[in-house]
Amino acid sequence: MTYSFDWGVLWRYREQLVGGFSLTLALSVLGLAGALGVGVLAGASAESERRWPRGIAAAYIEIARNVPLLVHLYFWYLGLTALRLPAFWCGVLGLGLYSGAYVAEIVRSGLQGVPAGQRAAGLASGLSRRQILRHIVYPQALRIVAPSLAGLFSQLIKDSSLASVISVAELTFVAGAIEGDTFRTFEAYIGITVLYLVAVTAISQITLWTLRSRIVEPAMQY
């Protein structure tokens, strides 16, 4: 017996798919923003000359990276029920904190990739340490790590599918609902595969362009 595809099921459930796609984008973008904010701060702290910022950053990075993302999501959704956070924001927190640890390691490696002579030259020219970091070190470090950050952000979008286990009605959750209603497994999951491909490609390219043209190049020209 051959399987007969019915692609019309995607059109019949178009409103649910559009809603799930929108929620996936919102979840990913907010998670990306959180991961970037936390990761840059932790990565910079890991390279601090003071011991206590390095210790806090190291503890956060190790704990966040060594705990599975699914546990992060359950921690916020079930473990801290007293906070009464909506499932969507539990997903944002889980994704942001988990991915932020990897951003921190990428940022730290980028900072280490900037030659020490660059800082010495900045001090010799009369710049303060903050000016050196802002206008010399960070722009070069971000240029070094931009491709790695874009790749990590692509992974975060795909990881957002795990939010379906805490009842966030993103794409994977919607596909499961469609399958349960129609038993059209292939159509449902092939359809969301195409949408994930579009989202990952678009956001990774936008992220790479933003890092290079809107952050790195203006700072280098300052």
Task: Go through the domains of the chain in sequence order and give each one's CATH number.
Answer: 17-221 (1.10.3720.10)
71-114 per-position pLDDT tens digit:
999 999 988 877 888 999 999 999 999 999 999 999 888 888 88
Task: Identify which of 109, 69, 113, 115 has the alpha carbon closest to the alpha carbon of residue 92.
Answer: 69
Q: Are 75 and 94 in contact (CB under 8 A)?
A: yes
Residue 190 has pLDDT above 60, yes or no: yes
Q: What is the token pair recorded at 155?
A: 């992974």
The structure tokens 């959180």 sit at: 34
Which range has the worst mean pLDDT, 9-13, 75-79, 144-148? 144-148
In the DSSP assignment, the letter for residue 216 is: I
Q: Are 152 and 99 in contact (CB under 8 A)?
A: yes
Highest mean pLDDT among 136-145, 172-181, 201-210: 172-181
